[in-house]
């Protein structure tokens, strides 16, 4: 059973930085696409970034060049470094482990977050202008 626990959320001013962490347990290495999603108030969930088991990364257009997804395998922790944040980055951020079944992780945002994915409880990020 995969378990994910996010931390690092909080309040930050526009233009600032924040680093989210996700502690991972129960996940067999190289069998998951690790993802970050977010949900703004009153809106649906949106894929933010994906990390392929072999190091490839994919980003939503809205965060490209500002956010970086990474993983420390020794610490079983996934990260999301958020720079130059904007008020529209406000929302609940979720860590997601999406089984890849031996296939490459999808680069298209619409394909992230499958029905088989495991989700954390989320951490709140609030960006003030």
123 band by pLDDT with thresholds 50, 70 and 90: very high
Residue 17 has pLDDT above 90, yes or no: yes
Structure tokens at 80: 């999301």
- Identify the CA nearest to 77 among candidates 51, 113, 112: 51
Residue 121: the pLDDT is 97
Across 26-30, 37-41, 56-60, least confident range: 26-30
Spell out the residues 6+ positions from residue 60 whose beta carbon is closer than 8 angstroms to its own. 46, 47, 48, 49, 109
- Identify the CA nearest to 35 among candidates 65, 60, 10, 12: 60
Residue 29 has pLDDT above 90, yes or no: no
Look-up of token digits 């970086």: 68
Angstrom distances, CA of residue 88 to CA of 102, 125, 129? 35, 10, 10
Coil, helix or strand at residue 86: coil
* CB-neighbour burial class of residue 44 (10 A; exposed 0-12, middle 13-18, buried 19+): exposed
């Amino acid at each position: 059973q995969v378990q994910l626990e996010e931390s690092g959320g909080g309040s930050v001013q526009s233009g600032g930085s924040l680093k989210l962490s996700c502690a991972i347990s129960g996940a067999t290495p190289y069998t998951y696409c690790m993802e970050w999603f977010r949900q703004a108030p009153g809106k649906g969930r949106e894929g933010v970034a994906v990390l392929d088991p072999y190091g490839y990364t994919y980003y939503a257009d809205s965060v490209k060049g500002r956010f970086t997804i990474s993983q420390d395998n020794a610490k079983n922790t996934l990260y999301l470094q958020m720079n130059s944040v904007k008020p529209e980055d406000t929302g609940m951020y979720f860590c997601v482990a999406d089984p890849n079944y031996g296939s490459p992780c999808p680069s298209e945002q619409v394909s992230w977050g499958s029905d088989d994915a495991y989700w954390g409880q989320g951490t709140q990020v609030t960006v003030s202008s």
